[in-house]
Structure formats: C-alpha cells, structure tokens
C-alpha cells in the first residue's frame, strides 16, 4: 500500500469513500510531515486543533454515507486568501496575526466540497515576486534542491505539493504565479479563465489580472479542485463570470 503522502487527490477520495482510511488519519499524517519539513518554509500557519476538528467532521459525514467531491481531503491555502480559522498575512509583517471575519469564496467552496484545511502557505509579500524570496517570514525552498528557488509568488503552495506536505493547494496567478512555481517544482498548476473563480477574499496584487488556481500533482487532481472552486459569485465579485460550475474532469483520458 502506498504511503498516504504518495496518494493523489483522486486516490484519497476513493479510499476515503471506501472507508479504507479516515480523514483524521490523513490529516494527522500531513500535519506531521509539515512539522518535520519546516526547513522547506512551505507553511506560514498551522493549527492542529482546527484541522483535526474539520477532519473529524468529515469522517462523520463519510460515516453517514454523504458523498461530496473532496470530502476528507486535506488542502492547504496560499496565504493570500483570507480565512477565519487561520491568520491571513499575505506574507507581510504588516498583517502579522490578522484574522479575517470571513473566508474567501474559493476557501469556502472547497470547504463545501468537503476539503479539510491544513493551513496557510508561504508566498512573496502581497504576491509581489516570482521567487518566494520576498516573503517577510522565511524563504520557501525548492524541495528538489533547497539551494534553489521554488518560483513564486505561490512558492509555498508548490513546495507543499512537491514535497508531499499537502495533496493539493490553492495559488493565485497574476502573470505566472501559479504556473511558474508549478513548473519549477515539477507539479501541475492551472490559471483558469478570468472570472471563473471568484476573487472575493483574495488580497490582490493586481485585481484586474489575479486569478485563483489549483496546484496538485496531476491534471486530474487540479480538475477536481477547479470543479469545486469555480462558479458565479455575483453578489461579492462583480467580475465573476455568469457561467455555471462544471465538472472539469469530464474530458480527461
């Protein structure tokens, strides 16, 4: 049997639904890996109590026979998305300790799909950079060679996925900040069409360009995340497209 951190999101979904593994077991495994690989600088905030409470709730929903696209799967968020349960700093000391009263739409939609939040991920300060050397807190290091950069600004997200510290992560892309670190770290990242994913709750670098995107190890995993992330949000994001959510896995293979 593969180690839990070697399973893709799709494989985790299948094993969680079959009750071969539990959400709590998976969450504990990734939290432990995050703590033992702190030198990579991927995470800016972890809260074991919050994560395990969400995992317990996911296990209860699974036991009740509920089917949700990502139920019980851990996902970590770039610290450019505001969150109620974790600090939101955008990689800047100016927001040190800031707690948002609401979740970004992307965070909320992934939670509705059943995802368990692992924590917040390192990024260039206010997403301004392409190397993740501009975080006010610590460097994020490429797990394949810690002397090299992981790319940015979503460098922490790419490091977390590549080093198996999270099965998947969110990122944001203005001019390459999902795609470049995904390339540098050997994972998959997608910048969706402008307006497909709501920008509400993103601490934007350039709001006329920024887009939320998924980062994971495979195209299938990114499609699963993107399906949960996308959809109209007219009451909170006037630039969101009036295009219904869809299953982006439908044309794979």
The yes-or-no answer on residue 78 being catalytic is yes
Determine which one of 22, 88, 177, 227 is catalytic: 177
Contacts of residue 161, Cβ cutoff 8 Å, sequence gap at least 6: 167, 168, 169, 185, 187, 215, 216, 217
Scanning the chain, the segments in alpha helix (DSSP H) are 9-17, 23-36, 48-63, 105-112, 155-162, 179-185, 219-229
With 0-12 / 13-18 / 19 or more C-beta atoms within 10 angstroms meaning exposed / middle / buried, residue 56 is: middle
Residues 156, 146: Cα–Cα separation, whole Å: 13
* Measured torsion, CA atoms of residues 167, 119, 25, 161, in degrees rounded to the nearest 10: 20
Determine which one of 22, 78, 92, 120 is catalytic: 78
Determine which one of 22, 88, 153, 240 is catalytic: 153
The yes-or-no answer on residue 153 being catalytic is yes
Are the CB atoms for 167 and 187 separated by under 8 Å?
Answer: no
With 0-12 / 13-18 / 19 or more C-beta atoms within 10 angstroms meaning exposed / middle / buried, residue 183 is: middle
Sheet holding 116-121, edge to edge: 43-46, 116-121, 74-78, 168-173, 211-216, 188-189
Residues 161, 154: Cα–Cα separation, whole Å: 11
Indicate which residues carry an active-site annotation. 78, 153, 177
């Amino acid at each position: 049997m593969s180690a839990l951190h070697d399973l893709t999101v799709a494989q985790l979904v299948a094993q969680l639904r079959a009750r071969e593994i539990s959400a709590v077991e998976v969450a504990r495994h990734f939290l432990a890996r995050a703590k033992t690989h702190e030198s990579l600088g991927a995470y800016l905030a972890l809260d074991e109590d919050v994560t395990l409470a969400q995992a317990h709730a996911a296990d209860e929903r699974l036991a009740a026979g509920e089917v949700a696209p990502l139920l019980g799967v851990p996902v970590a968020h770039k610290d450019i998305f505001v969150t109620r349960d974790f600090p939101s700093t955008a990689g800047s000391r100016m927001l040190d300790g800031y707690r948002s009263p609401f979740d970004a739409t992307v965070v909320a939609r992934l939670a509705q799909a059943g995802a368990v939040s692992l924590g917040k991920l390192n990024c260039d300060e206010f997403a301004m950079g392409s190397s993740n050397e501009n975080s006010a807190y610590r460097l994020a290091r490429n797990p394949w060679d810690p002397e090299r950069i992981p790319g940015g600004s979503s460098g922490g997200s790419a490091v977390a996925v590549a080093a198996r510290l999270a099965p998947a992560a969110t990122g944001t892309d203005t001019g390459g900040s999902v795609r470049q670190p995904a390339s540098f770290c050997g994972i998959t990242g997608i910048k969706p069409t402008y307006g497909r994913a709501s920008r509400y709750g993103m601490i934007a670098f350039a709001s006329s360009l920024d887009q939320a995107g998924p980062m994971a190890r495979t195209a299938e995993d990114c499609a699963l995340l993107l399906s949960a992330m996308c959809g109209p949000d007219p009451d909170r994001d006037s630039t969101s497209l009036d295009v219904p959510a869809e299953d982006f896995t439908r044309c794979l293979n």
